[in-house]
Structure 1
Amino acid sequence: MTTLGTASAAPGEMDTGRLPVGETRDGSQFGLPVAVINGADDGKTLYIQAVSDGDELNGLGVVNRVVPQLDPEELSGTILITGLVNYHGFQVAEHRNPIDDTKMNRTYPGNESGTSSERIAAATFEAAMRADLVLDLHQGSTSRMINEARVRCGPRHRLHDECLELAKVFDCGYVLDQKGPDGQLARAAPDEGVPTIDPELGGCVGWDEESIQYGVDGVFNVLRYYGFLDEDVTVNTQTRATGFDRYGAPSGGLVTFQKDLGDDVSPGETLFTITDVFGRLKAEVTADRNGIFWRSRRLPQVATGEYVCSVGIDVSRY
């Protein structure tokens, strides 16, 4: 019998329930929605979580599509899932946890006696530490960005190669291989010996079917490659970047991009122009070096110095 919170499943069974993490402001107990899918045969354990940031819904879309397709009788090993992590942020469609104004993915490994976010992080981190592999599903919030998988442990970490392999198997096509900020699950879990990646499933406001499908395909790639499902998988070459050049607006106005997401960029090529409200050119911004047009703002209006776009640099194929 395998349990996660109130969910409990024998081999060949599945169950859903709640992972208790505290009380709301009226004193009511609340818990995160969780699922246990216990395969009929022995195997590895995979932990998946989504909605660490309360307005990033594509990961929830992945969970919503993947779980109904899984038959525990056809599965080897166990899948543990937390369907949404940032309970309070999700309720009000906010990025941060509004109870303590905290970005959840900066609080791992958490503290079971700490703030609201730290307690949630501690509970979900404990679940993640039961796994052999972890997928922490994110998206670019309101930015436009390519679908990518992020390896956040840093190139000198002892599990770097295993995390990089997991990102390759997930197969978004693009990988950011850059050490992440303290408190990210994809940094904390490898420190405890569990390979973890942070797929950023596009950037949108709300729910994007194309990016959700990237995530669904990625989860099934992982299940096949690591033996959860007795099916073949093709591991494709990925495009990897190890950092970003970020570009801001030299003047205020309206941005027009000359590059699209995923385009190759060469030094001196125009990335974007800025015009005034009457269409008169105010500025033209060019690339500093080779890379890939990776991320950009969604709305055209900018103030002086405001973020406009990012170019992935030190690009290679692996």
Structure 2
Amino acid sequence: MLTLGTASAPPGRMDTGRLEVGEARDGSPVRLPVAVINGAADGKTLYVQAVSDGDELNGLGVVNRVVPRIDPSELSGAVLVVGIVNHYAFQIAEHRNPIDDTKMNRAYPGDAEGTATERIAHATYEAATRADLILDLHQGSTSRMIDEVRVRCGPRHRIHGDCLRLAKVFGCGYVLDQKGPDGQLARVAPNDGIPTIDPELGGCIGWDEESIRKGVEGVFNVLGHYGFLDREPEINEQTRARGFEQYGSPAGGLVRFKQELGGRVDAGDPLFEVTDVFGKRKARVTADSDGIFWRSRRLPQVAAGEYVCSIGTNVDQY
């Protein structure tokens, strides 16, 4: 019998339930939606989670479509799923947990007696570290962003190659291979020897069906390549960036982008202009390095110093 929270399934079956992670302000229990898919044959365990950030819903779209398509009678091993991690932020469609104003993906491995966020991180980390592989599904918040996968353990980590392989198998086409901030699941879990990636499935408000489709395909690529299902996906060359440059606005006004997402950029190429309300140019920003136009803000209005766009740099193919 395989159990996660109240979900429990014998071999060849699946079940859904709830994982208790704390109590709300009225004293009611906070329970995350979970699924257990226990394969008919022995094998590895895959852990999948989504909505670590409350406004990043494409990962939930992936879970919503993947779980019904996995037949446990044809599965070797098991899949553990937490469908919504950041309960509090999800309820109000905000990025951070409003209870303690904390970003969930900076709190791992968590603390069973800590803040609301740390308690959720602790409970989900305990579930995640039961697995052999971890997929932490994200998106570029509500910004515009290419579909990519992040390897966050750092190039000197002892299982960096395993994480990079997992990213290549997932197969979004782009990989950001750069050590992440403290407390990210994809940085912390490799310390326990578990290959972990952070697919960033585009960026949108609500759901983006194309990014969700790529995420679903990525999960099934992993299930096939690592022996959960009897299918071998085609593994294609990926475009990797090992640096990431962010650009802010030198002036307040309205942004006009000069590049398209995913486009190649040379040092000195214009990235964006800022105009006043009546179209008069106030500033022009160019690229400091060669790279790929990776991410940009969605709204045109910008204050002086506010984030505008990012370039993936130090690019190669692998």
Amino acid at match of 2:174: Y
Residues of 2 paired with 1:29 and 1:289: CA distance? 50
Amino acid at match of 2:313: I
Deviations 1:261-303 (A, max 9, x none): 0000011111111221111222221111210000111111112
- Structural RMSD (CA): 0.8
TM (norm. structure 1) is 0.98
Residues of 2 paired with 1:277 and 1:316: CA distance? 40
Determine if the alignment matches structure 1 residue 173 to structure 2 residue 197: no
DSSP-derived class of the 1:314 partner: strand
Amino acid at match of 1:71: D
Determine if the alignment matches structure 1 residue 206 to structure 2 residue 175: no
Contact kept, 8 Å, 2:106 with 2:181, in 1: the verdict is yes
- The aligned residue for residue 193 of structure 2 is 193
Q: Please identify, of 273-282 and 113-122, the stretch whose mean Cα deviation from structure 2 is larger.
A: 273-282
Structure 1: tracts of 5 or more residues without a match: none
Q: Please identify, of 94-103 and 153-162, the stretch whose mean Cα deviation from structure 2 is larger.
A: 94-103
Identity, in percent, stands at 74
DSSP-derived class of the 2:224 partner: helix
Q: CA deviation at 1:30?
A: 2.4
Q: Please identify, of 284-293 and 256-265, the stretch whose mean Cα deviation from structure 2 is larger.
A: 284-293
Residues of 1 paired with 2:283 and 2:88: CA distance? 42
Q: Please identify, of 67-76 and 242-251, the stretch whose mean Cα deviation from structure 2 is larger.
A: 242-251
DSSP-derived class of the 2:45 partner: strand
DSSP-derived class of the 2:126 partner: helix
Amino acid at match of 2:215: G
1:191-270 alignment to 2 at 5 Å?
A: 191-270=191-270
Residues of 2 paired with 1:103 and 1:251: CA distance? 28
1:251-290 alignment to 2 at 5 Å?
A: 251-290=251-290
1:113-124 alignment to 2 at 5 Å?
A: 113-124=113-124
Contact kept, 8 Å, 2:55 with 2:142, in 1: the verdict is no
Q: How many corresponding residue pairs?
A: 318
Determine if the alignment matches structure 1 residue 310 to structure 2 residue 310: yes
1:129-168 alignment to 2 at 5 Å?
A: 129-168=129-168
DSSP-derived class of the 1:242 partner: strand
Q: CA deviation at 1:245?
A: 1.7
Residues of 2 paired with 1:179 and 1:266: CA distance? 24
